[in-house]
Each structure stands twice: as structure tokens, then as C-alpha cells.
Amino acid sequence: MDFTGRPLKGMIYVAPRGITSDTDLESWIRQAKDFAGSLPPKEAKPKRKRAAEVERS
């Protein structure tokens, strides 16, 4: 998928004719969920301090 000139990896764009019925849409959603479920979990990023917390310290 590329809307900004910088492709988004792992994303697709489904044209309107690709989802002409609820069954078509459900198929795309099922495929997306299956793919996302097959990926390894991401590591948690350390939490950043909010601006208000930084000002107090």
C-alpha cells in the first residue's frame, strides 16, 4: 500500500470491486486476522515520560 510515496509493508488496499458482498469482506478480514495471528509478538517499547512529568523532574 502506498499513499504517501513511502510503501507500508504488510498492508494492502482492496478496491471496491474486491468487496462487493459481505462474504468477500469477511474473507479479506479472515485472511488479515490469520496473517496477523501468525506474526511473532512485538517487544514492548519502554514507556516515555509525558511532557508534564519531564517538567516536574
Euclidean distance between CA atoms 37 and 20, whole angstroms:
26
Domain locations in the chain as residue ranges: 1-27
pLDDT at residue 3 in the model? 73
Specify the higher pLDDT residue, 16 or 56: 16
For residue range 1-51, what is the model confidence (pLDDT) as tens digits? Answer: 667 888 777 778 889 999 999 999 999 999 999 999 999 998 988 888 777
Q: What per-residue confidence (pLDDT) applies to 10? A: 75
C-alpha cell at 43: 517487544
Residue 56, pLDDT above cutoff 80: no
Given a contact cutoff of 8 angstroms between Cβ atoms, the answer to whether 19 and 32 are in contact is: no
Give the pTM: 0.59
| pLDDT score recorded for residue 53 | 64
